[in-house]
Every structure is written in C-alpha cells, then in structure tokens.
Amino acid sequence: MSVLYRKYRPQRFSEFIGQEKIVKTLTNAIASEMISHAYLFSGPRGSGKTSLARIFARAINCQKRKKGEFEPCNTCSSCLEMIKDRSMDLTEIDAASHRGIDDIKELKEGIRFAPARSRYKVFILDEAHQLSKDADNALLKTLEEPPPHVIFILATTEIHKMLPTIVSRCQRFDFRKLTSKEIIKKLTFICQKEKIRIENQALKLIALHAEGSLRDAEGLLGQVFSLYGDKEIHLADIKDILGLVEMEAAAALCDFLLQRNPAGAINFINELFQKGTDLEEFSKVLINYLRQALVLKIMGKSNNPFVLELTKEELDKLESQSKKFTQEQLKKILNLFLEAQNKMRYSSIPQLPLELAIVESCGVV
C-alpha cells in the first residue's frame, strides 16, 4: 500500500489532474505533430512533472496512435516497453544521482544513434538543476544542435538554479501546486478503487497537509490505510499520525486563561510534559492558535484563510474563545508566549518559560 503513488500514476492525459493549460498545449502539439526538441517542466514536487513526461514520451512513439490523436494506446509494443521501463528509446536520468560528465557523455553517445524502433529517442532528465557544470555544458552543446530524432524533457523543482542558456533553449512549462480540491478528487478515486472507507473530513486534512503535492497526499493515505485500514478511517486517525493532537491542547489552555486559572493551566502544562509532549512543539501550536484567534477577531470568517484548515468543531471552539478575549488581550498574550518560546531553548526547566507566560497572561485577562 505504501506504493499507492506508483500504482495510481496517471497513464493517459485524460487521467491527469490539473495543469490544464500545459496538457492542452502538449496534446495539441502531439495531435498536430509539432514536437519541440526540448521541454522544461518546472514546478513543485508531486505536481505531475515525471508523470506527464512519461505520458508524452509514450504518446509521440505510440504505434497505434492515429493522425490527429494524442493519447498513447498503452497496449502497443512501444507503449508497453516504456511502461515496463525496458524501452531502448526512453532514457530517464536522475541528475541528482548522475551528476558527472561521464553520464552526459554516455547520453551523448546514446543520442548519436537513431532510435531503436520508434520515431523519437526521449531523454527525461530529472532534477536537471543538479547537473554539474561540465554536464551542463555538454547538454547545452547538444541542445544547440539537437539531432532530429531526439527529444529532451528536463524536469526541475528549482528552476532558478538552472543555466539561463539551457532554459532559453527549451519550451518551458510551469507546473503549479495542486489545489486541495484536485487532491481530494484523486484521493477519492483511489479510495473507491482500493475500497478504503474514510471520512470526508479525514480526506480533507490529508489534502491540506500535502500542501499541493499529490505524491505526498497519496503517500500519507497509504500510510494511514496500512495502520487503520481494517476499519473506517476517521479524522482523529489522521491527526494521530500527523501528531496534531496539540490543537485541542491549545484550546484547553486558552480555557484556563479565560477562567483566570493559572494553577489549572500550570498543572495542564506539566501533565502534557509528563505525557511526553514536546513543549516547544506545543508552544508553536499554541502561538498559531492564538494567532488564528486574533485574525478571526480582526477579519471575521469570510476571506479568512485559516477557516478552511479547521474542522467545524475546531472553528466553533476557536470562534467562541476569540469572542471572549479582547483584541488587546490577545495581542498581549501572543507576545508573552512568543517570548516564552524564545526562552525555552535556553531554559534548564523546559516548562518554566511557559509557566511564567501563563501567570502573566492570567494577569491581563
């Protein structure tokens, strides 16, 4: 199950999610046989660069593809060899692990020979920004005079580290992070196929946590399923895995502050500490929680970027607490806990700076 992202790698353009403009440009180019010699796919990890490069490589060499079509058939011998990673005409090089000039020399050797059986020889250069200088120069020379049967697809997560002279010789496509909605769509599809029973809220949290990377989302779903797959998966299970229990703890601490109950708050902190909670981590969450309370007070719910990240229960709680504090109080308390966070690293008693902030906070509420 940990290999969900490999099992569900899109195999045709129609299965690909998002990046609509890129897909449109590429499929038009295939259908009209207007193929460039070098493409550059730049963008964040897990946004589909490798997947799209592979579909493209298959499509342009597919033996069953008819004029005007763009999808690879995935059944002819060319497509199958590429799918099985046995094709002589598709070479994938990960520049992160093959940085040397020798690898590029090998590449150049390979380029000189015509394709074994297909129309094009395709080279996918992953993490292209990591090529060494020598390799870069060798690549540049090849890009200056590309043999007609050779196609390069360079992929990179860090375009600013690439030689501008190389970038300018490629047709460039900027991939974007996928939206939560797009991620949820794909996760829902996988859950149906794999018969994974999972709450909507849980899927939503996975998607949010993946921050635009479908690979990360699929990886996390796989991890959750291997741990909790024998039952319906709930929001709390995801939180457990992500170590997100502290948000409730932050809310609980705020309750003590609102009740002006420093003794209760200090007890609570010490209980957390005894249970093995990392107090620095907790203070980060607490500060973030107070910040959300302040932003909610200032901006309200509409247009508030935080609101999307919270479950209904969390939002209700946050809202009711945010109403009970004044803006001035929230500002002061935030500052006190920010200060405490800075001091924690140097304190021989880890909970002491938090305890001081608690006592002072109860004084301003």
Ligand X SMILES: Nc1ncnc2c1ncn2[C@@H]1O[C@H](COP(=O)(O)OP(=O)(O)O)[C@@H](O)[C@H]1O
User: For residues 151 and 40, what is the distance between their CA atoms, to the nearest angstrom?
Assistant: 11
Give whichever of 128 and 285 is closer to Mg ion, judged by the CB atom. Answer: 128
Residue 49 is a binding residue for ligand X (CB under 6 A): yes
Give whichever of 139 and 154 is closer to ligand X, judged by the CB atom. Answer: 154
Give whichever of 157 and 341 is closer to Mg ion, judged by the CB atom. Answer: 157
Return the residue of 1, 31, 35, 76 that touches Zn ion, per CB under 5 A: 76
Burial code of 121-140, b = ≥16 C-beta within 10 A, e = fewer?
bbbbbbbbbbbeeebbbbbe
One DSSP character per residue, 235-253 reads HHHHHHHHT-THHHHHHHH
Residue 129 is a binding residue for ligand X (CB under 6 A): no
Range in contact with ligand X (rule: CB under 6 A) among 15-23, 25-33, 196-204, 231-239: 15-23
- Interface residues with Mg ion (CB under 5 A) are 49-50
Beta-strand runs (E) in 83-192: 90-94, 121-126, 150-156, 171-174
Residue 159 is a binding residue for ligand X (CB under 6 A): no
Residue 57 is a binding residue for Zn ion (CB under 5 A): no
User: For residues 338 and 334, what is the distance between their CA atoms, to the nearest angstrom?
Assistant: 6
Q: Which amino acid is at 80?
A: L
Give whichever of 48 and 353 is closer to ligand X, judged by the CB atom. Answer: 48
Range in contact with ligand X (rule: CB under 6 A) among 1-9, 65-73, 338-346, 353-361: 1-9
* Sheet architecture: strand order including 38-42: 90-94, 121-126, 150-156, 38-42, 171-174
Give whichever of 49 and 129 is closer to Mg ion, judged by the CB atom. Answer: 49
3-state SS assignment for residue 41: strand
Return the residue of 26, 29, 38, 47 that touches ligand X, per CB under 6 A: 47
Residue 206 is a binding residue for ligand X (CB under 6 A): no
**At 124, which helix (H) or strand (E)?**
strand 121-126
**At 155, which helix (H) or strand (E)?**
strand 150-156
Write down the least CB distance from residue 3 to Zn ion, Å. 24
Residue 180 is a binding residue for ligand X (CB under 6 A): no
User: For residues 187 and 204, what is the distance between their CA atoms, to the nearest angstrom?
Assistant: 10
Give whichever of 213 and 292 is closer to Mg ion, judged by the CB atom. Answer: 213
Asked whether 10 and 55 are in contact (CB, 8 A), the reply is yes
Residue 222 is a binding residue for ligand X (CB under 6 A): no
User: For residues 336 and 226, what is the distance between their CA atoms, to the nearest angstrom?
Assistant: 42
Write down the least CB distance from residue 8 to ligand X, Å. 5
Write down the least CB distance from residue 70 to Zn ion, Å. 12
Asked whether 40 and 171 are in contact (CB, 8 A), the reply is yes
Residues that bind ligand X in the complex, under the rule CB under 6 A: 5-6, 8-10, 16-19, 45-51, 155, 186, 214-215, 218
Return residues touching Zn ion (CB under 5 A): 62, 64, 73, 76, 79
